[in-house]
Amino acid sequence: MDLAYTQEQEQFRAQLRRFLAENLPERTRDKVRLGKRLTKAEMQDWHTMLNARGWLAMNWPREYGGAEWDAVQRQIFEEEACRAHAPRIVPFGLKMLAPVLFEFGSEDQRQRFLPPILCGEHWWCQGYSEPGAGSDLASLRTRAVREGAYYVVNGQKTWTTLGQHANWIFCLVRTDPDAKKQEGISFLLIDMDTPGVTVRPIVLIDGEAEVNEVFFDNVRVPAENLVGEENKGWTYAKYLLTHERTNIAGVGFSDAALATLKHVAAHTMASGRPLDQNPHFAARMAQAEIDLMAMRTTNLRMISAAAKGHAPGIESSMLKVKGTLLRQELSALLRRAMGPDAMPYLPDFLDGGDNADPLGPEHAPAAAPGYFNMRKLSIFGGSNEIQRTIIAKSALGL
Amino acid sequence: MDFGLSDDQMMLRDMLQRFLKDRYSHEARRAVLTSGQAYDTAVFAGLAELGILGAVFAPEQGGYGGTGTDLMVVFEELGRAGVIEPVLGSAVLAGGLLAALDAEGQSDVIQQVIAGETILALAHAEPQSRYDLNHVTTRASTSDGAIVLNGTKAHVLGGAQAGMLLVSAREEGDPADKHGVSLFLIPSTSVGVHCHGHVNVDGTSSARITLEAVTVDQSQRLGPPGKAYTALEAAHARATLALCAEALGAMETGKALTVEYLKERKQFGVPIGSFQALQHRLADMLIEIEQARSAVINLAGHLEADRLTRERHVSATKNLIGRVGALVAEECIQMHGGIGMTDEYAMSHHARRLVMVDHLFGDVDHHLDRFIAFSGVSETSRNSADAR
């Protein structure tokens, strides 16, 4: 048993820290630090900077332009990037589609689709959920009918995160309506510039349109955009969902949120003393920190098992549930720390308006919207209820 | 013991329910929010016409209600519908305070408030005061017989829509002293008043108001100099009751929307309401909402009690409502899934109000502290209670 990082890992961390200090634009860092909304250009610029250093596709093999980092290195990157208030890496192409192409795609598809992800020419989004297929994803109804060299797609996807910026979407579509529901699904790559694709933004509780509905009306998709075999899409989707979940503990995010919270609580006066000396608030903050300390180790235990070739199973479900509850708690504490200053809704400030008055401390405007936004964590990527069912069935045999 | 409403109160409730059902659909409310207006002036006029604003004033103040139960009845209904019109800020908080001060010549203003013709706003909180009512740094200094106000007020409910402002300012003492605070009634158009209005996360509207050498005369001071704190605290007790009842109404709507959704939404071939995991959570929520109702009733019943008893109930109720409000908001969203987070659907609007209620008039921690202080029997805790 040794809880320390190796010397190489510490050197790696120092190298990342230097890179972040030297390269992350101050304006972007400040926006992330204060929970402001990023533009597509700001996200893209960060991708471009990482890619120039060969670090954007951290989980890809080197021959495709990846960094080929192991799970511990990826975890260290997450910690350092969050600590430096870097934007999160938009995961859809890099961390979700790419692993599926490596595992199940053809070499042609890898050659065609991977380079545009790296250079930012393709922005991917995820076409999974539908209005009638949320937790019960396999009941999805978007149809793809083969007509010669094309699939003709009709239907609707929803909750498509950052779909407004995307020009490609990977979709689960139904190709065999007569098969058992999991067995008639295929995995299709669709160019969103194709006629018949419409994107409609959905404004959420925090006032931001982060997710979208995507409609398909007789959209003709070349058959070579099918990944793997027809009707085997559910297998690929499950593979992808596992990948989606490995990072979902969000330890790095929680570390950064706790650091911000502690800073705010030490500098906010409540009834004549700093808030971190209010016993009720301090107790909740301390409990969150204690949970986070344990979760960091739970996360590393899982990562080190994965590094030894152990496929993530219920561990990812566990981390999803605990990790999201913790991030939600930290966001609730920040909101409460802001007191009455959490009330004003200031979209100009959140959109990065340089002269917009925060009407309070600089962390105040994003505190309540951030808290409300975090409610999504226990809903998406397989709701926490679904995760608990997986744990009960797979780990407990109930 | 009688937990029933009087005939008049039942009539008031039914009338208000009917009015809001006709005039206050979620779509209409959302259209107002999207339009950038602070509230629907026609609806507000309609509420005044129905006598809703008068129902929060006592007969001797020119109203026809004013008891804790009246406040509870009115605000539970306003909360059910998610009303953003400035009834709380103008009628209960500022209007109630003005009426309680019983200052000469102010009954005209009260009548205008009751008629919905004037919005009155209490400009009391400040950027650094957080939830402490005694924290006032705005100065009222006398020069050549006139009084000059200087300072900044924050989170003034309905401040940008108000025709008249009730401004607190310190005539003597340190920023945290209870003694030394006076109230002044001034037109919002007074020279030196700068108002920066903004919408809140929950759709209500507030303002930051800067007072720059605003000159008033002695007649605009309400009551004796430096003695306004007691009235300020009592007015906040009433406003806290109204706010808690409003939250209760929002909880009831959240619960109703969630029950309906769980019966209707099918996944895995069955309504999701058939899953025991969700049934138990809704059952727990129902229990908590009944607790919230009892807490509101407790406060309504002690609004006229001695100060210590009243304030102990203010803190007990506000703490409980803060906890249950967040629970109901979070659980309702979670059980709805993504749809519960959309702006288009009513749930997210009620959830926003339920959570933000904790940021007004003191949050769970603030009131837990106060409750502990008010509950102590030793002399030290009595002193500490007195300081709060």
Q: Residue A295: which domain range? A: 248-395
Q: Does one domain contain both A265 and A366?
A: yes
What CATH number did the domain enclosing B372 receive? Answer: 1.20.140.10
Q: Residue B212: which domain range? A: 121-226
Catalytic residue among A244, A329, A362, A385: A244
Residue B1 lies in a domain: no
Contact B172, B226 (CB under 8 A): yes
Q: What is the pLDDT of residue B386?
A: 60
Q: What is the pLDDT of residue A249?
A: 85
Q: Does one domain contain both B315 and B381?
A: yes
Residue B292 lies in a domain: yes
* Alpha-carbon gap, residue A315 to A328, rounded angstroms: 20
Q: What is the pLDDT of residue A308?
A: 77
pLDDT greater than 70 at residue B388 = no
Among A66, A89, A112, the domain-final residue is A89
Of the candidate ranges A69-78, A116-125, B239-248, the one whose mean pLDDT is the lowest: A69-78
* Alpha-carbon gap, residue B378 to A353, rounded angstroms: 53
Among B50, B83, B118, the domain-final residue is B118
Per DSSP, the three-state class of B197 is: strand
Among B72, B100, B118, the domain-final residue is B118
Of the candidate ranges A75-79, B69-73, B194-198, the one whose mean pLDDT is the lowest: A75-79
What CATH number did the domain enclosing A175 receive? Answer: 2.40.110.10
Q: Does one domain contain both B182 and B257?
A: no
Q: Does one domain contain both B277 and B189?
A: no
The model's pLDDT over B57-90, given as tens digits with 9 standing for 90+, comes to 999 999 999 999 999 999 999 999 999 999 999 9
Q: What is the mean pLDDT of residues A311-330?
A: 89
Q: Does one domain contain both B182 and B46?
A: no
Tallying the residues shown for chain A, one arrives at 398
Q: Quickly state the pLDDT bin for B387 (edges 50, 70, 90).
A: low
Complex confidence, ipTM: 0.96
Q: Does one domain contain both A269 and A379?
A: yes
**Cα dist. B98→B45, B55, B234 in Å?**
21, 16, 12
Say yes or no for a CB contact (<8 Å) between A139 and B278. no
Per DSSP, the three-state class of A53 is: coil
Q: What is the mean pLDDT of residues B234-261?
A: 98
Q: Quickly state the pLDDT bin for A2 (edges 50, 70, 90).
A: confident
Query: Which residues share a beta bridge with A199?
Result: A214
Q: Which of B276, B293, B360, B365 is nearest to B328 (CA)?
A: B293
Residue A238 lies in a domain: no
pLDDT greater than 80 at residue A152 = yes
Count of structural domains, chain A: 3
What CATH number did the domain enclosing B187 receive? Answer: 2.40.110.10
Q: What is the pLDDT of residue B153?
A: 98
Q: Does one domain contain both A275 and A387?
A: yes
Q: How many CA atoms are closer than 13 Å to the CA of A134, on its beta-carbon side?
A: 22
Q: What is the pLDDT of residue B104?
A: 73
Residue A319 lies in a domain: yes
In chain A, count of helices (H) and strands (E)?
A: 14, 10
Query: What part of A 105-134 touches B (C-beta under 8 Å)?
Result: 129, 132, 134
Q: What is the pLDDT of residue A245?
A: 57
- Tell me which residue in A268, A339, A376 faces B341 most closely, judged by beta carbons: A376
Among A230, A259, A285, the domain-final residue is A230
Q: Quickly state the pLDDT bin for B193 (edges 50, 70, 90).
A: very high
Residue B380 lies in a domain: yes
Residue A116 lies in a domain: no
Contact B224, B128 (CB under 8 A): no
Residue B370 lies in a domain: yes
Q: Name the helix (H) or strand (E) containing B8.
A: helix B7-23
Among A73, A89, A105, the domain-final residue is A89
pLDDT greater than 60 at residue B99 = yes
Say yes or no for a CB contact (<8 Å) between B130 and A340. yes
Q: Return the residue in A139, A343, A346, A388 with the most chain B beta carbons within 10 A, the one to mutate for interface testing.
A: A343
Q: Does one domain contain both A208 and A152?
A: yes
Q: Does one domain contain both A208 and A281?
A: no
- Report yes or no: A344 at the B interface, CB cutoff 8 Å: yes
Q: What is the pLDDT of residue B380?
A: 57
Q: Name the helix (H) or strand (E) containing B277.
A: helix B276-301
- From the CB of residue B256, how many other CB atoms can be counted at a distance below 10 Å? 13
Q: Judge whether A244 counts as a catalytic residue.
A: yes
Contact A122, A168 (CB under 8 A): yes
Average pLDDT, chain B: 95
* Alpha-carbon gap, residue B169 to B215, rounded angstroms: 13
Q: Does one domain contain both B241 and B357?
A: yes
The one-character DSSP state at A97 is I
Q: Quickly state the pLDDT bin for A370 (edges 50, 70, 90).
A: very high
Give the predicted TM-score (pTM) of the model.
Answer: 0.96
Q: Return the residue in B126, B128, B130 with the most chain A beta carbons within 10 A, the one to mutate for interface testing.
A: B130
- Tell me which residue in B132, B333, B356 faces A343 most closely, judged by beta carbons: B356
Q: What is the mean pLDDT of residues B331-352?
A: 97
Q: Return the residue in B201, B350, B355 with the most chain A beta carbons within 10 A, the one to mutate for interface testing.
A: B201
* Structure token pair of residue B102: 């019983």
Residue A149 lies in a domain: yes
- Report yes or no: A278 at the B interface, CB cutoff 8 Å: yes
In this structure, the strands spanning A185-191 and A226-227 are: antiparallel
* Alpha-carbon gap, residue A286 to A258, rounded angstroms: 10
Among B58, B93, B118, the domain-final residue is B118
Q: Which of B242, B358, B366 is nearest to B300 (CA)?
A: B242
pLDDT greater than 70 at residue A170 = yes
Q: Which of A9, A12, A395, A379 is nearest to A210 (CA)?
A: A379
The one-character DSSP state at B303 is T
Q: Does one domain contain both A317 and A222?
A: no
Name the closest residue on chain A to residue B34, using Cα atoms. A207
Name the closest residue on chain B to residue A382, using Cα atoms. B337
Burial class for B341, CB neighbours closer than 10 Å (0-12, 13-18, 19+): buried
The one-character DSSP state at A67 is -
- Sort out which chain B residues have CB atoms less than 8 A from A376's CB and list them: 338, 341
Count of structural domains, chain B: 3
Q: Does one domain contain both A263 and A339?
A: yes
Residue B242 lies in a domain: yes
- From the CB of residue B387, how many other CB atoms can be counted at a distance below 10 Å? 12
The model's pLDDT over B197-211, given as tens digits with 9 standing for 90+, comes to 999 999 999 999 999
- CA A177, chain centre distance (Å): 31
What CATH number did the domain enclosing A314 receive? Answer: 1.20.140.10
CA of B70, closest CA in chain A: separation in Å?
27
